[in-house]
Amino acid sequence: MLYMIGRRTAAKEIALLLPNLLILFKELARDPRVPRGSKALLVVGALWFASPIDLIPEFIPVLGPLDDAVAAALILRHILRKAGPDVVAEHWRGDMRTLQRLVRLPARTSETPPPRDTTRQRPIDRNRAGTTPKRSPTAQG
């Protein structure tokens, strides 16, 4: 339908969305920068897409493919938080605008700072864990 309206690129991207997602999930599952738990989620997602059983049957217009798109978006959001947008973008084979629309990924420019690594936390000081801070003798006065 989009093809007939004259939007060849949009029609092509919609037609290639599922194959591009499967390739993306396969490559992300092989990437050492993706945590092991996230890789398991990628495998579940790939099986979800390949499975003939859906929450909403595919023959229902608009809503049929929606459960696959929602599952893909949720998995990709998780991967973006854990591995970072650069890792996901590196493995995406389709039009970058499609990926940006799917997960609301901001367009990267050379001026855009890299994402903060929120997975790393400061180590706990075992000597101070569970203790209250001591007051200095001059502060008690």
Assess if residue 136 is contained within a domain.
no
Average pLDDT over the chain, rounded to an integer: 75
Between the alpha carbon of residue 93 and those of residues 3, 26, 82, 88, 133, the distances in Å are: 21, 12, 20, 10, 53
CA atoms of 103 and 137, how far apart (whole Å)? 55
Range of the domain at 67: 17-103
* pLDDT: which is higher, 88 or 128: 88
CA 121 from centroid of its chain's CA atoms: 21
Residue 93 falls within a domain, yes or no?
Answer: yes
The confidence score (pLDDT) of residue 88 equals 92
Using the predicted structure, report yes or no on whether residue 6 has a pLDDT greater than 90.
no
Answer yes or no: pTM beyond 0.75.
Answer: no
> Is 1 a domain residue?
no
Closest CA to 95 of 10, 26, 31: 10
Answer with the residue of higher pLDDT: 35 or 58: 35
- Please, are residues 92 and 105 in contact by the beta-carbon 8 Å criterion? no
pLDDT at 111: 41
Inside any domain, residue 69: yes
Query: How many domains does the structure of the chain reveal?
Result: 1
In a domain, 125, yes or no: no
Q: Is residue 114 part of a domain?
A: no
